[in-house]
Amino acid sequence: MAAGPTAAAAAASLSRPPSSRFALTSRASFLSPVTALLALAVALAGCASLPPPPPKPASSAATDTADTALGRLAAASLAGAPPGASGFRLLPTGDYAFDARVALARRAERTLDVQYYQIAADSVGLQLLRSLRDAARRGVRVRVLVDDLYTGGEDELFATFAALPNVELRLFNPFATREPGVATRVLQSLPDFGRINHRMHNKLFVADNRFSVSGGRNMADEYFMRSAHANFIDMDVLAAGQIVREQSQVFDRYWNSSLAWPIGDVVKLPIVGDAAARRFDELVSAAPPGFAPATSDVLGRPSVDFELAAGRASLVFAPAVVFADRPNKAEVTESAKDAATVTRSVIEELTTARSQILITSPYFIPGEPGIENMRQAIARGVRISVLTNGVGATDEPLVHFRYARYRRQMLRLGVELNEIGPAAADPATFGDFGQSYRRLHAKVAVIDLKKVFIGSMNFDARSAWSNTEAGLLIDSPELAVTLHELVSRDHGETIYRLRLRADGETIEWTWRGADGTLQATTDEPHSSWALRLKMFVLEPFAAEELL
């Protein structure tokens, strides 16, 4: 980690706010260095630190679940699967991805293990917690592990939830300060920045150790097309089979790690028992009753709930591997060459490509090692296509401007660069964005139309070394072709394709206009002089490995 980031840069790099509550003009990344230093001086006076972690009981995923309803459904869904294969279904739209989680929660009988970077106190987050509460009331053991970055101001919600019978909630790498607001919490914790910079970015939902949902989505409105301001294109995958048991083992490692704190050791709740349960019920009653998914998704499939009610989920059978970082990843002092991480594992898979690679990543900073890997792949005849956020769609301008440093190099190599614009996409592809802005959040790689990676990992230094990540590598030509077609569809004026002019220096953004004609400009779409000035001022203070 580079020494000496400003407070503003530290707050900005640590907090990629996934919520539309954080408008671009009010983001921590737009604090001036002078303002940040003044805030730092004030914040240091109130800095707090955590005591050593107390001992806590260990637990593990249930294995005696074959006789549960989900156990029987998983067995029926896997009938005819080849030895060593698990079953998978892509969940490209938010309504179907949320329906899958709720459908599994309603049918769970023994355990629900839930692990997320963010569970927001909005309609989606509250509906999820409500479905977990209902399961706990039926006697299901519920374990929830949530990263502590976005829990500020929501201690009452999570603590009253954890006070329910059959429920445990742990905070990953908690802050000492319980103040609301990411920027405030980071500023008050700057002396401890080396620790709090280590965040758990994993996303996992496991029901009865028989079905799982994993991928890129956090539990907040904007990941499920519920935000009026901005919504994300994302990707999850439903799984059944042996791969789910392996995901549960990863969950257990995080749950039992020294970085997972029972919320009661961090937050002192003044009410207990029935009073806490009543208060939790009051808090989650603010959410709407739920929302029904569309009749069929973009792939022409009915909802997971519908399929389970019919007796089996229709799955694609394939061998797969779980990639997961160790919980204490940021504390390990191995060299970059030898460290075993999700990023390293994915890159090693990419180096096996012989014909083509497709990468989608909202935050894409290849760095010089990434540029060299691309150069070698293209020299072998591999076609590389990248889809990332354009400046008008990103919620992290600092990350985008660092990525922009590498655009010319990539284009000269022959990399196909595509950038998402903020205009709404075709509802038939990723869901109905309404009047909201569109942003990319899916973290996907397709290799030779044979293998797919779906997970939480961005292609940047933050995912490589600061965040913990997880994902699935699935060896399935069927899923690979489907995913490639979804991402590669011509979205007209909503996707910008980049190219170099004959001078080898000037970048052009091209797109198809409403009349189908090819349009081009050398002025970066949706950029402005004010934004460029802010980034020019702040970018030198934000080390690439922090972004």
Q: Tell me how crowded residue 348 is: count the other CB atoms within 10 A of its CB.
A: 9
Choose the catalytic residue: 147, 148, 203, 395: 203
Q: How far apart are CA 177 and CA 193, in angstroms?
A: 13
Residue of 330, 326, 329, 380 whose CA lies nearest to 350: 380
CA 278, chain centre distance (Å): 32
DSSP alpha helix (H) spans, 286-353: 304-309, 342-350
- 448 labelled catalytic: yes
Residue of 71, 142, 70 whose CA lies nearest to 113: 142
Choose the catalytic residue: 198, 441, 450, 451: 441
Token output for 123 = 């309609």
Cβ–Cβ < 8 Å for 217, 237: no
- 515 labelled catalytic: no
Choose the catalytic residue: 95, 113, 148, 208: 208
Token output for 321 = 């591997």
Q: How far apart are CA 325 and CA 342, in angstroms?
A: 6
Choose the catalytic residue: 448, 475, 484, 526: 448
End-to-end CA distance of the chain: 11
**Is residue 323 within a helix (H) or strand (E), and if so which, with residue range?**
strand 320-324
CA torsion angle for 218, 220, 225, 228 (degrees, to 10)?
A: -140
- 400 labelled catalytic: no
Strand partners of residue 385 = 358, 416
3-state helix, strand, coil split of the chain in percent (to 5) is: 35, 20, 40
Choose the catalytic residue: 443, 450, 451, 534: 443
Evaluate the CA torsion angle 342, 343, 348, 350 in order and state its sign: positive
DSSP at 364: B
Three-class DSSP category at 248: helix
Strand partners of residue 473 = 321, 453
Q: What's the maximum distance between 2 C-alpha atoms anywhere in the chain? A: 72
- 490 labelled catalytic: no
DSSP at 392: T
Choose the catalytic residue: 201, 329, 450, 491: 201
- 201 labelled catalytic: yes
Residue of 187, 199, 196, 195 whose CA lies nearest to 11: 187
Residue 158 to residues 18, 167, 180, Cα–Cα distance (Å): 19, 11, 14
- 450 labelled catalytic: no
Q: How far apart are CA 415 and CA 528, in angstroms?
A: 26
Helices 123-137 + 155-162 axis angle, to 10? 10
Cβ–Cβ < 8 Å for 237, 454: yes
DSSP 150-179: T-TT-HHHHHHHHTSTTEEEEEES--S---
Q: How far apart are CA 355 and CA 339, in angstroms?
A: 28
Q: Provide the residue count of the chain.
A: 547
Q: Which residue has the tokens 């030509």?
A: 477
Cβ–Cβ < 8 Å for 409, 370: no
Catalytic residues: 201, 203, 208, 441, 443, 448
